[in-house]
Structure 1
């Protein structure tokens, strides 16, 4: 069983004008920062040692990563040093923790896949790679050793995490696993797709604010604490209201995320959109 994971804050995702104060590593996912939602499934499977690699621009995530999200968990945060390649930074982390476990799980902070595939990776006694359910050229995560990353670092240096994992897949013999589902969150429409999937599959309590009996809830819906909803509103299906959201009287919301103190006016209809205090985008 593998008990150590290296989570890399990739540069694939970028900040968005309607979430200007949120680095992608901290984008909200059902009440928690995205990186914590990536860590939690691994933690439930017995992985309690995490090394998180971030860039200088992601240091704002330090306070969130240092919170006690789960008992008996160890999260060590490292930064990519100025002038250091991502491959060298990952190799440095692997070398530092290689005494804890012969193999490690390597994946991005914005990678989500099914629990069954994650379970098979954690319980694997051999090195393996996981392919995306929709794209066989896309590697979701790998279980590798420090020797593997050293081998992949030889020759031309891959620059991105996806290139590194493809290089690892080619340079070492591994068992290939196919993810049943895989969502890579690079843009806000990916964030909505992730919420839509998690709202269908998670069994968490879905209403955590007091609401009027006149409000109609059409599941699946998640409502955080401290959300204000006006009387006569219709919420759902596929809606997440983050803490601080405000919904006016007789509003109708479906297939939408209301994040970062976003506001929906009275009598307004919102469909296929993401709304924050800084603006909104409409989903295709």
Structure 2
């Protein structure tokens, strides 16, 4: 049973102008930072020791990662050193895992796949690689200590997918086709992830007091401290983050309202991400 996972923060996702105060690994996903949502499925499969590899620009996330999100979980954060390649950094932080650990799950911090495929990766016995329907590697795999050491000898700064492709050329691998997978690099990806997770969640999740005149069409999540005017319609596929405000008789569907975003009275919004800094169409 694997107890260690290494999550590598990729450089593909960039700060968006409407969420300038959020590094992508902290983008909100149904009430939690995105990286915590990536960790939770692994935790449910029995992984408790997490190593997070970040760049210097992501040190702002340290405070959030050091919170106690789940019981009996350790989250250690390391930065890639200037003289290291990414694969050397992975080997370094893997060496700090429990001495009896013979393998680890390695995945991108912004990669989400169905839990059945993730379970096959975690509970495998060899080189286990998640792939898409067209057999393209997804940045999620089980690697042995020897395979991690082998990668560390390779020159250059290799993306995770390239690491897995390189390993599979010389080592027999088992491939697990994901039923679904999303790599979150843009706000449009973030919206797709919310849709997928809300499909799984199904029922509305409402943590604010709202008027009986507000119509809720699932799936919907409403965080605490959200204000919704009377006569509004919310849903389907809506997430209202803490601090957002919705005016009277507004209509919101297929939307994320984040970071104290506001929807005006009588306004209809759909296919959009909204924050206090602006709006971004995802339709």
Query: TM-score when scaled to structure 2?
Result: 0.96
| Partner SS for 2:164 | helix
Partner of 1:60: 60
Cα 1:262–1:100 shift into 2, 3 Å: farther
Partner of 1:15: 15
Aligned pairs for 1:216-255 within 5 A:
216-255=215-254
- 1:93, CA displacement in angstroms? 1.4
Structure 1 runs (4+) deviating above 3 angstroms are 153-156
Give me the whole-angstrom Cα distance separating, in 2, the residues matched to 1:155 and 1:199.
40
Partner of 2:182: 183
Q: 2:129 matched to 1:138?
A: no
CA contact (8 A) 2:203 2:218 kept: no
User: What value does the CA root-mean-square deviation take over the aligned residues?
Assistant: 1.5
CA contact (8 A) 2:139 2:160 kept: no
CA contact (8 A) 2:203 2:219 kept: no
Q: Which digits, 9 at most, give the CA deviation of each residue in 1:104-133, with x for residues without a partner?
A: 000011000011111122222222111124
- After the TM superposition, which of the residue ranges 8-17 and 150-159 deviates more from structure 2? 150-159
- 1:204, CA displacement in angstroms? 7.2
Alignment coverage as a number of residue pairs: 283
Q: 2:250 matched to 1:276?
A: no
Partner of 2:194: 195
Query: Structure 2 unaligned runs (5+)?
Result: none
- After the TM superposition, which of the residue ranges 187-196 and 111-120 deviates more from structure 2? 111-120
Partner of 1:148: 147
Give me the whole-angstrom Cα distance separating, in 2, the residues matched to 1:230 and 1:100.
56
| Partner SS for 1:96 | coil
CA contact (8 A) 1:158 1:164 kept: no
- 1:155, CA displacement in angstroms? 4.3
Query: Structure 1 unaligned runs (5+)?
Result: none
Partner of 1:171: 170
CA contact (8 A) 1:229 1:249 kept: yes
- 1:274, CA displacement in angstroms? 0.3
Give me the whole-angstrom Cα distance separating, in 2, the residues matched to 1:138 and 1:105.
14
Give me the whole-angstrom Cα distance separating, in 1, the residues matched to 2:88 and 2:187.
30
Partner of 1:39: 39
